[in-house]
Amino acid sequence: MQQSDGHNTASWSPASWRRHPIRQAPSYEDGAALAAVEERLHRYPPLVFGGEARRLKERLAAASRGEAFVLQGGPCAESFGEFTGDIIRDTFRVLLQMAAILTFSAKVPVVKIGRMAGQYAKPRSSDVEKRDGVELPCYRGDNVNSPEFTAEARRPDPARMEMGYFQAAGVLNLLRAYSRGGFANLHEVHRWNLDYVRNSPQGERYEELASQVEETLAFMKACGLEDNAPQYDEVEFYTSHEALLLPYEQALTRVDESTGQHYGLSAHFLWIGDRTRQPEGAHVEFLRGVANPIGIKVGPTTTIEDLQKLLEILNPQDEAGRITLISRMGHGKVRELLPPLLEAVRRTGRTVTWICDPMHGNTTTSSNKYKTRAFEHVLDEIMGFLDVFGQAGVIPGGIHLEMTGSDVTECTGGPRCLTDADLPTRYTTFCDPRLNAEQSLEIAFQLSDRLKR
Ligand code: PEP
Ligand code: MN
């Protein structure tokens, strides 16, 4: 059967995206080297398991009903150079802190999803970058090329996909260890506070909350409730990235033994970016055939018609938890542009989980030429998103942030009132500016004040 948008429903295969127009794809010079890497990746063990992706789908379905809240966060782009245990641990612990803050106020489980263990491919607004009269191909993420401004570094190299696979495996291994090996134990709630945050107002407010959690646990134990259930000891932590580099995603697609369905097993959750969500395009074609929970970025240029088409193509059976719509409008536009889209989706009667990405519509250039975002704008977009949902009587499903546990100076404002002049101090992102630990905690506290039950 041929759908009007060009997707042939009968003939999806992990490779069928190759027959569709594609955007943001690198041009590899050496086809044989590319094919060899794809062939090897196809033989390697998958990084995640289909059953985990199915469980995440259930969690996201719960979030669509207001029975859970999604916290998706991590760097804009992971980097091969920043592949250290400390960086992974610190981002993970800030996500745990934020989850504790949100659980305590919203009184629902927080679904924790890292933009981690595979976030190595980036869409760019221009194919080229010019510096001092020299023009080179743009940096497309470490899975594709390297950020240094030389012709050699910017040449897409298929061998990098294999490095990306092994690094993702390393990150995932540590995340699984932290999730299950005692670090995430609720009795350790005080230890998640980072040393450099401990004495800030956010660190102190967190300490108070951690003490309340401890008292609650002690109280429950005194009442005879055993405190050794797995819920105390372990957390579910899921991984995600933008499914942009399709040769990589195809190579890691497998048939799930128990269901016979295909899953993209490079991560639990895969999303389609704002630049590659054309209903007839290759990225939509690829994702329609894998059974993972998937995200769709919804931006200021998303039309009602396209959104309805995307829901039809990507979730024809209207399965709950399958689609997460990630709104990224910009703080000045969210209150105006989101309501008609929200209403249109509601009219279709379809189940979706709406979450707010307050980062990507709020990127600006500072007076000293840094790509930055103002903390106030990020916070205002979240509040605007909640306002829109409140007015429509629809339950908001969660948030999606670019953040890190490192003490970076990439977004202005926030707890330390960072100014443009502070940005060069520790500006280490390879792509978009991230909230640092204090700014992330402050977002969680402000949000928790709104979500309090
Ligand atoms: C991103 O999430 O890093 C990104 C590029 O987002 P968007 O597709 O919404 O611009
Ligand atoms: Mn980004």
C-beta of 154 in contact with ligand 1 (< 6 A):
no
What's the mean per-residue pLDDT of the chain? 96
How many Cα atoms are found within 13 Å in the side-chain-facing hemisphere of 158? 19
Name residue, tokens 């040769």. Answer: 247
312 touches 332 (CB < 8 A) = no
pTM above 0.95, yes or no: yes
* Residue 241 near ligand 1, beta carbon < 6 Å: no
pLDDT of residue 231: 85
Q: Which of 113, 115, 126, 274 to mutate to test the pocket of ligand 1 (most atoms within 8 A of CB)?
A: 274
Q: Which ligand is nearest to the CA of 122?
A: 1
According to the model, what pLDDT value does residue 68 have? 98
Q: Provide, rounded to the nearest whole percent, the portion of the chain with pLDDT above 90.
A: 93
Mutate to test the pocket of ligand 1, among 302, 328, 373 (most ligand atoms within 8 A of CB): 328
Answer whether 273 contacts ligand 1 (Cβ < 6 A).
yes
For atom 4 of ligand 1, which residue has the closest CA? 273
Q: 297 CB under 6 A from ligand 1?
A: yes
CA distance 53 to 59: 10
Residue 4 has pLDDT above 70, yes or no: no
**Per-residue pLDDT at 414:** 97
pLDDT in tens, 70-116: 999 999 999 999 999 999 999 999 999 999 999 999 999 999 999 99
Structure confidence at residue 3 as a pLDDT band (50, 70, 90) = low
Other CB atoms closer than 10 Å to residue 37's CB: what's the count? 23
For this complex, say whether ipTM is above 0.85. Answer: yes
Tell me, using a 6 A CB cutoff, whether residue 330 lines ligand 1.
Answer: no
CA of 297 to the centre of ligand 1 (A): 7
Ligand 1 contact via 322 beta carbon (within 6 Å): no
pLDDT of residue 252: 98
How far lies 349's CA from each of 107, 226, 327, in Å? 27, 43, 19
Chain mean position to CA 69 = 14
Q: Of the given ranges (3-7, 12-16, 111-115), which has the lowest mean pLDDT?
A: 3-7
Pocket lining: 76 vs ligand 1, CB cutoff 6 Å: yes
Ligand 2 centroid to 103 CA: how many Å? Answer: 26
Burial class (CB in 10 A: 0-12, 13-18, 19+), 132: exposed
- 210-214-219-221 Cα dihedral, nearest 10 degrees: 140
| Cβ(274) – ligand 1 distance below 6 Å | yes
The label of the residue with tokens 């090329």 reads 145
